[in-house]
Amino acid sequence: MSSPPSHPSVERYGKVAVVAGASEGLGAAFATALALRGHDLVLLARRAAVLDALAAQLRSTTPEVDVRCVACDLADGAFVSAMHDGIAGREVGIGVYNAAFSAIGPLLDRPLEDALRVIDVNVKGPVRFVHALGPEMRRRKRGGLVLMSSLAGFHGSPRIATYAASKAFNIVLGESLWAELRGEGVDVLVSGAGAIRTPGYTKTNKPDAPGTLDPSQVAERTLGALGHGPLVVPGAVNKLATFFLGRVISRAGAVAIMQKNTADLDA
């Protein structure tokens, strides 16, 4: 009896998918979406217990999928070695760097260490990630890399200055990699997400911002866009906001709007 056909994602990219920042929220949504596509998973995050709970859930709902957890701090470059141990020499088809750290409040009111951790997780982390996975994908002439950015990365965003700057870095990094690797069989995509109903977001008890999406919607729309260009902005409202802030009003006006939107963020 022949085995059922593989999902097109597995056929195109390869069996194993790595998700960095996978414990809950959007990371868990990426893991779930990839498991439903038939990808074996290597999940990276700091909190081992939360990772293990997600892995148990995925093994229950998609028992045919192999799930491996790697508890590591993505601010520490040693995570690359731990990730390779979890991969165990297998071919990685898709890598998703979802991890992010945000320091909320005026930049000069926060300890310097907070800003440097943003750089370690949000800037150094994705560079290390793509440098660890990309060369082998290029050698095989197939693979996909996804970097999560944010609408905050398109404009200055007071009170989350280092976070916004790090997300701008990821936009430029991903678009550049897309151009460098598009002829090498490797798809690269940056996802500029707006507000997402993650556990942290829902704990604020604030009404949804315009364009707020569930994590599963962002994960599905992002993975669906892989291979179709360098950048995706999930959600029609968020696409419209990006166009308005980037094309219709002045740069100073866009920053002023972002300032209003970030004024009530909890530190």
Annotation marks residue 13 as catalytic = no
Annotation marks residue 167 as catalytic = yes
* Count of helix runs (H) and strand runs (E) in the chain: 11, 7
* DSSP β-bridge partners for residue 71: 45
Of 13, 15, 97, 167, the active-site residue reads: 167
- Contact by Cβ (8 Å): 63, 102: no
The conformational region for residue 218 under phi > 0 = left, psi -120 to 50 = alpha, else beta, is: alpha
Question: Hey, which bits of 113-213 come out as E strands?
Answer: 143-150, 186-193
Structure tokens given for 56: 């148990």
End-to-end Cα separation, the chain, in angstroms: 58
Residues in the chain: 267
- Contact by Cβ (8 Å): 130, 146: no
245: number of CA atoms within 13 Å, CB side? Answer: 21
Rg (CA), the chain: 18
- Contact by Cβ (8 Å): 127, 134: no
- Contact by Cβ (8 Å): 22, 48: no
Of 13, 97, 163, 239, the active-site residue reads: 163
Which positions are catalytic? 163, 167
